[in-house]
Structure 1
Amino acid sequence: HGGRPMKRALAWIRVAVTFIVELGKSTIAVVRAVLGPTERLRPAILAVPLDIRSSAGKVLFANMVTLTPGTTSLDISPDGRILYVHVLDAPDRDAAIADMKATLESRVREVLP
């Protein structure tokens, strides 16, 4: 089990790096949205199905979503399987959900399934 603490540490580092990358991309997107024509924005409330099962994982994912500019976690369904997220601009709802799941949620699942 000598490599296990190292694997966990590397997984947490991947979570942090992914979050920082998403933070940068979202910051740029929000700046463009604010400086551009606002009538082009397509705000939406998205129902993001969760593959995370642990309470700690859901909290971490929801907090990462909220801390990313342009998105805010609103609520979680009573059964804990859907996170409702407000998005400043989501011209393609399915793509926005897929992006959150492929980046932030997938990394969270590595450390808090």
Structure 2
Amino acid sequence: MAPPPPGPPDVEELRDLIDQWSTLGADLERKEYTFDLDNWRNDVDVRQLILEALPMFSREELGDHALKLDDADKVFMAATRPFRRCVWGAGTAKREKWTPQANWWYFRTPIRSNAQLEDELATVR
């Protein structure tokens, strides 16, 4: 017999993701991003997880975290610049149906970047 499907995520898990996203934006605002492309992809994946979990909870359930997410998005936008393609590559973006409008975090990179990340971004196709 197959195990039951997982239950809905806990609202606390979503709040934790929003906290992570907020911390990333604050870090980008304050200092150079010192990690590589794999780390950047993992960091922006947090925002995708938030997007996927949001419909399961009301703004009331999120409480202050609803506003925290709005603020974190604004900070992230201000600390990043548009990137010509999805940081995961065009094939992944097409397969996942990610667009610069709906999944904008995948189409942005840090303004205060580093040489390794910039070199790796130059190879994204």
More strand by share: 1
Q: What is the TM-score normalised by the length of structure 2?
A: 0.29
Q: What is the TM-score normalised by the length of structure 1?
A: 0.31
